[in-house]
Amino acid sequence: MKRKASSIRRSRSTKIVATLGPGTSSPERIRALFEAGVDVFRLNFSHGVQEDHGTRLEILRGLEKRMGRPICVMADLQGPKLRVGRFADGPIKLSPGMRFRLDLSDEPGDETRVKLPHPEIFEALTPGTDLLLDDGRVRLRVLSCGPDHAETEVVTGTQLSDRKGVNVPNVLLPLSPLTAKDRDDLRYALDIGVDWVALSFVQRPEDVAEARRLIANRAALLVKLEKPSAIAHLDELIEMADGIMVARGDLGVEMPAEDVPSIQKRIVRESRMAGKPVIVATQMLESMIGSPAPTRAEASDVATAVYDGADAVMLSAETATGAYPIEAVSIMDRIARRVEHDPLYRAIMDAQHPDPQRTSADAITAAARQVAQTVSAACIVTYTTSGSTALRAVRERPDVPILCLTSRLETARRLVLSYGVHSVNTGDVSTFAEMIQKASRIAYQDGLAAEGQRLVITAGIPFGTPGNTNVLRIAWVEGNSQP
């Protein structure tokens, strides 16, 4: 990738993920989003057709070449969508205590029953199970059930209309997270060259193993945590995934709302300890779908995710279909920058550093953060092939940027998601002198360091050996390093 002296350098460590949609599909709008602060672009396969997503990715790859910066693209798979059928005469009225039947009949619904075209749900139900419809606005309790029906009582709710979603909290459903549509979308996403694949409806480790097999290392795998059953397997899922998304909207439907904030903090903390990038998503600036400014509560919500140490925060409908996509990104950018300049933020980040494993790579990476702080280095430089060296540095949450130099474009793109990483696709080096000169030149060129400032460089010898970080070097940015 051709380097440009004018490459955009973010002045924050927390990354911004934005979803593309009907309102943000033109080259002009996509570039405006990038310039406003978007680091990762999300293609939401729950909406639109494959060709639309392919066109957006082509625009992004063209923008990448023009800007001389790696751009990360995520394909978010839909997963199973559980919905009731249709009603004969429009929405029905419900009241607590009413009896209501769910079944497999193709007849349009009425105030006594409706089709639930998912026999897998009936298979998993038992008397006393609660079902949540329409994002929890309607709660039904199962009185009796069979393989093709469930007799329920209305607990809460006043109205139900066509095709509303169904959630079954605290029940492990016999469903794969990959429907036939998802498998087709996954093949398409991998063929067009996305960098990350987000897997929806994960309930257990086996779900991740199936996706891993299909992806076959052609993209990094991000697991969306949106089912309470997944939280029960949190450690295993973090270990199996390349990254994690806290999908708070769905979590908030299936578990008490008061539990979600502590769950969010736990997921962010444990993902960081494992060295896996973590995204906090859903309803972050939702009012900006139709308003040019967020609520104070939303601004505080975004700030909390940054204070927690998330790698990234995400916008969904705000940028996909909202009236103010550029403004939403700009405000999220300003919130993140303001938090990161708060002394309390640095105190929080420094309060907990993961214990390094008993390896030279972990020891050197942990030392790099301490050395950078001691000598007031401008940035930490990592030379990496697989990205593992950079991810070790990210885990430390240093107070300076991490300049990641890699000869693999796919590695450079994937690392864009990670906290504090400024990734650059560049050729391999063969000597120490070349390593230092290249690090100094790029750090200066991309605005990460000025002449006379110091860099802390980590690398592996021999060069090009994945996962072999065994060298730490302090270097100065000199006049002959400048472009």
| pLDDT of residue 356 exceeding 80 | no
Per-residue pLDDT band at 359 (split at 50, 70, 90): confident
- Neighbouring C-beta atoms of residue 361, cutoff 10 Å: 18
Q: What is the pLDDT of residue 2?
A: 59
Using CA of residue 15, residue 19, residue 25, residue 29, what is the dihedral sign? negative
Q: Please report which confidence band the pLDDT of residue 205 belongs to, taking 50, 70 and 90 as the band edges.
A: very high
Contacting residues for 472 by C-beta, under 8 A, at least 6 apart: 364, 367, 368, 371, 456, 457, 458
> Is the model's pLDDT at 221 over the cut of 60?
yes
pLDDT at 355: 78
Q: Given this model, what pLDDT does residue 45 score?
A: 98
User: Sorting pLDDT into bands at 50, 70 and 90, what band is 207?
Assistant: very high
What local confidence, expressed as pLDDT, does residue 149 receive? Answer: 97
User: What is the distance between the alpha carbons of residues 414 and 40, in angstroms, rounded to a whole number?
Assistant: 9
Rounded to whole angstroms, the Cα distance separating 111 from 153 reads: 12
Specify the pLDDT at position 6.
43
Position 62 scores a pLDDT of 98
Identify the active-site residue in 282, 382, 384, 389: 282
Catalytic-labelled residue, pool 12, 42, 392, 438: 42
Is 282 one of the catalytic residues?
Answer: yes
Q: What's residue 481's pLDDT?
A: 52
User: What is the percentage of the chain residues whose pLDDT exceeds 70?
Assistant: 96
Please give the average per-residue pLDDT across 440-468, as a whole number: 86
Cα–Cα distance for residue pair 458/26, rounded to 1 Å = 40
Number of Cβ within 10 Å of residue 297's Cβ equals: 8
**What is the pLDDT confidence band of residue 360, given thresholds at 50, 70 and 90?**
confident
Higher pLDDT, 88 or 459: 88
pLDDT value at residue 466: 64
How far does Cα 245 stand from its chain's mean position?
Answer: 5
- In the chain, how long is the greatest CA-to-CA distance? 80
CB-CB contact of 381 with 439 (8 Å) = yes
337 is catalytic: no
Question: For residue 5, what pLDDT is reported?
Answer: 45
Domains of the chain: 15-80+176-342 (3.20.20.60), 92-167 (2.40.33.10), 360-481 (3.40.1380.20)
Per-residue pLDDT averaged across 126-154, rounded? 97
Catalytic: which of 69, 115, 139, 224? 224
Q: What number is the average pLDDT over the span 61-69?
A: 96
Q: Are 385 and 407 in contact (CB under 8 A)?
A: yes
When the pLDDT of each residue in the chain is averaged and rounded to a whole number, the result is 93
Q: Which two tokens stand for residue 259?
A: 């539990």
Token digits for 121?
């749900």
Give the pLDDT of residue 480: 53
Q: Classify strands 159-160 and 149-156 as parallel, antiparallel or unpaired.
A: unpaired
- 183 included as an active-site residue: no
Nearest to 210 by CA among 186, 234, 244: 186
Judge whether residue 46 has pLDDT over 80. Answer: yes
**Beta strand extents in 248-303 (DSSP E only):** 278-281
Q: Answer yes or no: 338 catalytic.
A: no
Q: What is the structure's pLDDT at 471?
A: 85
Is residue 409 over pLDDT 80? yes
